[in-house]
Amino acid sequence: MAWQQPPGYGGTPPRGYGPPPTSGYGAPGGGYGAPPGGYRPPQGSGGYGPPPGGYRPSYQHPPPGSYGNPPPGGYGNPQGSFGGGSGYGPSGPYQSGPAGYPPQGAPPGYRPPPGPPPGIDPTVYEWFRTVDADGSGQISAVELRQALVNSNWSHFNDETCRLLIGMFDKDKNGTIDVHEFGSLWKYVQEWKGCFDRFDKDRSGNIDSGELQEALGAFGYRLSRDFCQLCTRVFDRKDVNSMKFDDFIQCCVMLRSLTETFQRVDTDRDGVIDISYEQFLEMAIDNTLS
């Protein structure tokens, strides 16, 4: 059985996007198929903010009453916004009360909650503590799903969350710690910038034409028919387009399939000759990865 990659296979990715793990293929590299380097989100977006045209943000500022701030009395809720002001309680053990009243503040023996570990952004740390519902110091795919939402505030699908956990779970125990969560958070933020860049009509979805343009910017030379197939597969609402979480899943799948193809295409000509059983092994390996 002979398989041939579409024309353009092996194209050079845009500058800054990173070479493939070995050579050729035009596949994104950088460990997890990071978005092209040099991309800058719209001015004032802060990484997660709304793009021009009133498009709603994905998940930095959740809807009121949902899960933006840690619950009162839990996780050492800081005063004010994440990472702003003093952040983690009074500077001393007591604060002076009004004239004629005793000092006010924490009772004797009170210890303020610990701050974020070195190298962890306070905003990411507070999100982690909020999402870590059982206080185990680890986040599962189920817990992660509570932190990530699409532009319409629908939660990410289970499969995308499972893939993300698997990509950053270094010890392969099915969960991620705060450091792994920090890497995952940055990764999703970068993908959100790419998604907004190619969502030209600010619909909150990407159609097959926008997908083809996005994959082309990543170094893939894929036909419109193939991009339409991807859109149909990842279109969960039968609207001929895919949401942000499905876009991530599609790109991760494409990266994984390309790497699997690379391992067999030893002469790097874009064509492999495999048996039916080898094809099944490749498909199953990609499904489980």
pLDDT in tens, 214-251: 999 888 899 999 999 999 999 988 899 999 999 999 99
pLDDT at residue 140 in the model: 96
Q: Count Cα neighbours of 105 within 13 Å in the Cβ-side half-sphere.
A: 16
Phi, psi of 206, rounded to the nearest 5 degrees:
-120, 125
Tokens of 188: 């999703």
Residue-averaged pLDDT of the chain: 72
Q: How far is CA 205 from CA 3, 196, 253, in A?
A: 31, 9, 18
Average pLDDT, stretch 253-276? 91
Q: How far is CA 154 from the centre of its chain?
A: 15
pLDDT at residue 119 in the model: 86
Domain boundaries, the chain: 116-198
Which of 79-83, 90-94, 224-228, 230-234 has the weakest average pLDDT? 79-83
pLDDT at residue 44 in the model: 35
pLDDT at residue 282 in the model: 87
> Domain 116-198 maps to which CATH number in 1.10.238.10, 3.10.180.10, 1.20.1440.230, 1.20.1050.10?
1.10.238.10
Q: Which residue has the higher pLDDT, 8 or 173?
A: 173
pLDDT band at 97 (very low <50, low <70, confident <90, very high): very low
Average pLDDT, stretch 110-125? 80
- Position 86 pLDDT exceeds 50: no
For the chain, the distance separating the N- and C-terminal CA atoms, rounded to the nearest angstrom, is 24
Q: Is 12 helix (H, G, I), strand (E, B) or coil?
A: coil
pLDDT band at 137 (very low <50, low <70, confident <90, very high): very high
Q: Which residue has the higher pLDDT, 73 or 184?
A: 184
Average pLDDT, stretch 245-271? 91
pLDDT at residue 15 in the model: 38
pLDDT band at 105 (very low <50, low <70, confident <90, very high): low
pLDDT at residue 182 in the model: 94
Average pLDDT, stretch 173-189? 94
**Range from 95-99, 107-111, 187-191 that averages highest in pLDDT:** 187-191
- Position 136 pLDDT exceeds 50: yes
pLDDT band at 147 (very low <50, low <70, confident <90, very high): confident
pLDDT at residue 34 in the model: 44
Task: Look at phi and psi of residue 132 and say left if phi exceeds 0, alpha if psi is from -120 to 50, else beta.
Answer: beta
Residue-wise pLDDT tens digits, 1-30: 444 444 444 443 333 333 333 334 444 444
Phi, psi of 176, rounded to the nearest 5 degrees:
-130, 145
